[in-house]
Structure 1
């Protein structure tokens, strides 16, 4: 039976992700190495026999930030539609691999860091010490306290939950449990940022942000969310997923190979 998934992709490396500076609203390009790594990720994980199968994508959400949009471009999914930020599609009809629409949404923009935009965690702790908050070491937990001048965990939770409801109602509920042979497109792709995608994964699994994640998502990293037992009310984090294989297609290829072997 079909069990739809959500793929979460963090944008590629930027200068600020390299040195640990919190990047919310600031626009930064990917580094040259960041672009190369995303290209490699696309080659390794996108394809008919890979983790992300373009023809099975029902919808693609992307952050308003240019670093996320560039990351989506470099994955080369082969979208029929042009990206909203481009004047025309960047590939010919022969390269089309998915009918999924692409939507820019504020719901997966990065956490608004407010006063902490552009500074590192050690700098934040030092600032808090001077302000007399966070104890003698200026301790700070974004998952419980949020950011002064920016967003609280409650505000982030509200927009994430709104998006999760939309994904489940519009794209997953209609296809979950259907026979796999129907080739139904139900997977969803999110291209966004480190903190917001970790928060998304926690809310997907029914955890509060105050629980704090015990998992990481590196720049350019890919994660998978799905369901247990083909049930919409049993969301889960998929720690390891196998690459897709079309059973009928593979059986035909195997039969051809065996026939050729017998002729020798």
Structure 2
């Protein structure tokens, strides 16, 4: 029995991600190397015999930030739908249609709002806090960002998105799979979800996916990185993070 998955992809490298500056609302392009690496990731991981199978995608969520949208473009999924930020779709002979999944731009996965810390590096934030309060410690998962978002703000919007994914896409998928197993129906349902967003928000998403508090976050997702989330025992009540097994190629 197939189990639906959520693929989380962090946007490609920018100048600020390269030098460690916190980037939320600031619009930055991908670097040339960032674009090159995302293209390589798409070729390596997207395809009928690869990790992300376009025809199995039920829905695609993408951040409002341009760096995330450019990353989705470079993955070359072959969406039938015109990308929401484009005036027209690429000609079919340039990018063959490989998925019927709808692309949704949503604030639910915009990056953590860093507020007063936008554009600063972590050491600079700690030095600033030391000057302001005498305490130079800072943990975004515990402290959040003044003028921006708190951990509770992040939990609220991510938990709502996770609930939507499970109720709208994964629950019906699991029910359809179970029904087909009983009827021997060969029609292939679509249950996988793709999310293209940012470092902190995707690390928080993975943590909340398995029901842990943000203070338990011990995950790293580098620029252009890909993660896979799913369930144990085909059970929606047992959310899990997939490790190396997510890269096994089916024969």
Answer yes or no: same fold by TM over 0.5. yes
Tell me by how many angstroms 1:232 deviates.
Answer: 0.6
Is 1:191 aligned with 2:196? yes
Equivalent residue number for residue 218 of structure 1? 222
For each residue in 1:135-174, what CA deviation from the matched residue of structure 2 results, as whole angstroms up to 9, or x when unmatched? 2xx0100001100000000001000001001100111001
Q: How does 1:96-175 map to 2 (within 5 A)?
A: 96-133=97-134, 135=135, 138-175=136-173
Q: How does 1:3-22 map to 2 (within 5 A)?
A: 3-22=3-22
Tell me by how many angstroms 1:210 deviates.
Answer: 2.0
Q: Distance in 1 between matches of 2:50 and 2:25?
A: 33
Q: TM-score of the superposition, structure 1-length normalised?
A: 0.89
Is 1:95 aligned with 2:93? no
Matched position secondary structure for 1:123: helix
Tell me by how many angstroms 1:176 deviates.
Answer: 1.8
Query: Would the aligned equivalents of 1:62 and 1:105 in 2 still touch at CA under 8 Å?
Result: yes
Q: Distance in 1 between matches of 2:239 and 2:6?
A: 11
Query: Would the aligned equivalents of 1:49 and 1:243 in 2 still touch at CA under 8 Å?
Result: no
Matched position secondary structure for 1:122: helix
RMSD: 1.4
Q: Distance in 2 between matches of 1:131 and 1:75?
A: 43
Equivalent residue number for residue 254 of structure 1? none
Equivalent residue number for residue 65 of structure 1? 65
Tell me by how many angstroms 1:244 deviates.
Answer: 4.7
Equivalent residue number for residue 207 of structure 1? 212
Q: Distance in 2 between matches of 1:152 and 1:236?
A: 25
Tell me by how many angstroms 1:243 deviates.
Answer: 4.0
